Amino acid sequence: MMRRDLFLLILVSFVAAWFVIYLFSSLPSYRRPLTASGAKDDPVDCAGNETLGFGQILVLSHGPSWRTRGLAAAASLTGLHYIIPPQPPVHPDLSDAFAQLGSDQGKDHPTSGGSRAWLAHLDLIKHVYQLNLETALIIEDDIDWDVSLRIQMKSIASAIRNLTHTYNHDDLPYGREWDIIWMGHCGEFWDKEFETVIFDDIAVCPHEKYHGWAQKYISRIPKGKRGVYWSKNPVCSFAYALSHDGARKVLELTGAGQGEAFDVKMMGECKSGNLKCISVIPEVIHQYFPAEDFRVKSLKDLGDEENLGSTRDDDIFESIKGSTENILFSARCRALWGETCIRD
C-alpha cells in the first residue's frame, strides 16, 4: 500500500512538473538586454554612470596643477570617476626624431612640443589597448563639462545607437559600430544634408553664445538641439572615446607621426574612412581657461618655448574665476565658485 501511494505521488509530481514546463514554454519569451555590468537594464542607462558608460575615463596630464585640482572639483560635483596614469618620460632625442618622421618625403610634421603631446596621447592609447578595455574615454586635464553631463550622455548614447543601427542585443551603451567618438572638440563641419540624429538638450549652448570657427555650422542646428553624426572635420582632442579596435587602429595609423599634430592626423584618418568616427555637436566638453588677464594657455595651445604656467604661479590666478566656451552650466565653476562661467 505504501509503495503504491509513493508511486502515485511521484507520478502526480511528474505530471504537474511537465504541465508547468509546457505552460511556460508556450508563452511569448522576452529577455531584456544585459548592460556592461551584467544588470538587466537598458544599456543606455549605463551612459549616465560614473564613467559615462565607458570602461574607464583616463586623463592626459603632466602632473598636479590648477588643471587637475579644478578637474577633481568638477568630477566630485558631478559624480565622475577617472584615473590619471603617470606619463612615462620621453627622451628629447625620441621626440625630436618623431617630429621629423616623413619630413624628407615632404609630409607635414609637428613642432617639438607637438611631438611630445602626440607621444603622450599614444602612450595613453597604448594603456587602453594593453588593459584590453572594450571602451575608454580620454580627456585632457584642463577640460570642463556641463553639470548635467551624465544626463546628456544618455541622450548621446541613444542617438549613437540610432545612428549606427545598434539593436537591443548589444549590451554596450554606445554599441560597437564605431572607433572614435569626438565628445570634446573645438569645431566641426555640419550641414542639414548629413545623416544626423538630433535630440533635445536643455543645456545646449545658445547659438549667440557659441564661440569658435564652427559657429556658422552650429547655428544651422535647431535651437535647443544637439546632434550626432559621422565625423566630417573634427578638430582638437579635448575628449574622445575609443573602442578597443579603435585604439588599435589609431596606434597603427598615427604611431609614425607624419602630420601637423595628433588631432589633425586623427581627423584625416576619420575623413578618409580609415577610422569610423562620430562627432557630437555642439560639443559637450571644452577647455576651461583661467581669467584672460593672466594669459594662461592650455597645454594644447602651447608652443615650444612658451611658459607652461608652472604650479608655483597657480596661486596667483587659481582663486579667480575664469571661463569655459560653449558649456552652459560649467561643472568647474559651479564646484569652485557656485556660479556659471560661459564665455560672453
Question: For each of the chain's 344 residues, which pLDDT tens digit applies?
Answer: 444 444 444 444 544 444 433 333 333 222 223 333 334 578 999 999 999 999 999 999 989 999 999 999 999 999 999 999 999 999 999 999 999 998 878 788 898 889 999 999 999 999 999 999 999 999 999 999 999 999 999 999 999 999 999 988 899 999 999 999 999 999 999 999 999 999 999 999 999 999 999 999 999 999 999 999 999 999 999 999 999 999 999 999 999 999 999 999 999 999 999 999 999 999 999 999 998 776 666 555 543 333 333 444 677 788 899 999 999 999 999 999 999 999 98
**Location of C-alpha cell 550626432:** 228
Sign of CA dihedral 220, 266, 300, 52: positive
What are the CA-CA distances from residue 53 to residues 251, 277, 335 (Å)? Answer: 23, 18, 23
Cell numbers linked to 273: 574612412
Residue 52 amino acid letter:
L
How far is it, in rounded angstroms, from Cα 180 to Cα 86?
23
How far is it, in rounded angstroms, from Cα 289 to Cα 268?
28
How far is it, in rounded angstroms, from Cα 286 to Cα 342?
11
| pLDDT at site 226 | 98
Residue 139, classed as helix, strand or coil, is strand
Residue 183, classed as helix, strand or coil, is strand
Helices (H), 87-230: 92-100, 112-130, 149-163, 215-218
Name beta bridge partners: 143: 287
How far is it, in rounded angstroms, from Cα 16 to Cα 105?
80
| pLDDT at site 2 | 45
| pLDDT at site 301 | 52
Cell numbers linked to 282: 555642439
| pLDDT at site 310 | 44
If 0-12 CB within 10 Å is exposed, 13-18 middle and 19+ buried, where does residue 331 land?
Answer: buried
Closest CA to 344 of 208, 140, 142: 208
Task: Walk me through the domains of the chain, giving residue ranges and CATH numbers.
Answer: 54-289 (3.90.550)
How far is the first Cα of the chain from the last one, in angstroms, to the nearest whole number? 94
Cell numbers linked to 211: 564661440
If 0-12 CB within 10 Å is exposed, 13-18 middle and 19+ buried, where does residue 241 land?
Answer: buried
CB atoms within 10 A of CB 155: 20
Is residue 225 within 8 A of residue 282, CB to CB? The reply is: no
What are the CA-CA distances from residue 89 to residues 245, 270, 283 (Å)? Answer: 26, 29, 32
| pLDDT at site 17 | 46
Cell numbers linked to 294: 593672466
Q: Is 190 left (phi over 0), alpha (psi -120 to 50) or beta?
A: beta
Element (H, E) at 244: helix 244-254
